[in-house]
Amino acid sequence: KTRQGYLGHIKRFLLFIGKDQSKVTTEDIKNYLVHLMIDKKHSHSFVNQSISAIKFFFFSVLGRTDICYNLPRPKKEEILPDVLSQEEVFCILRSVKNIKHRAILFLIYSAGLRVSEVVNLQVNDIDKSRMLIHIRQAKGRKDRYSILSEITLNILRKYVREYKVKDWLFKGGNEGSHLSERSVQNIFKEACTKANIKKDVSVHSLRHSFATHLLEGGTDLRYIQELLGHKNSKTTEIYTHVSQRDLAKIHSPIDALDIEV
């Protein structure tokens, strides 16, 4: 994914500049970054990755040392994740009738999985005796375990019996391949439409909701960090900003006023 992302950034840059690579200057790079920020209104993280890709291409690949690489990077935006309420998650899951689609969405929410993780699961990764899910070589090339819920296990049993699953837990259209991430995204989008969910959410929002609901239920942040596979605890701490557990205890001062409405 990093390779694909870098290639995309480099291609877009060279198309914008419209000149030979050997004639590109520091000013060209700066003008392109301004174009991304002002004209295209891309996020700061997108622009930061563009800088990294361009620097890698010119310095590490082409060996250009005549370009200034100490380019100012835009400060990363602090964007809170989109979280669904438990009632909204219930409506989404209830709207799905296809047993394979149900198994996928139940797994993502009940274990806090990334889309890439759920499609890469194999049958042997479901540890029924320990009620754990083995996620192999996930983001950062790390293995980890997450929890396997009783409800999700029952759905998986029905799914495995019906589809006669052997290797990949969720087989794709081509022989020997697993289901694509785009297919899972489409499954979630269709479920949201059926459930009449108006929020601007993606399938990754189920993972955010898993973490937030655990936190609101009193689960220690350190355990949530392990379940999600976050390397840095600060990444997990973002869920404290979207949790209602502590905010619900705070009453607005206007509620103390005797005002008729």
**Residues with a known catalytic role:** 114, 139, 204, 207, 230, 239
The residue among 105, 84, 79 whose CA lies nearest residue 244 is 84
Q: What is the largest CA-CA distance in the chain?
A: 73
CA distance 12 to 24: 14
Q: Report DSSP letters for the chain, one per residue.
A: -HHHHHHHHHHHHHHHH-S-GGG--HHHHHHHHHIIIIIS---HHHHHHHHHHHHIIIIIIS---SS---PPPPPPP--PPP---HHHHHHHHHH--SHHHHHHHHHHHHHT--HHHHHT-BGGGEETTTTEEEEEEETTTEEEEEE--HHHHHHHHHHHHHHT--SBSSB-SSTT-BPPHHHHHHHHHHHHHHTT--S---THHHHHHHHHHHHHTT--HHHHHHHHT-SSHHHHGGGGTT-STTGGG---GGGGS----
CA distance 120 to 10: 29
CA distance 199 to 89: 12
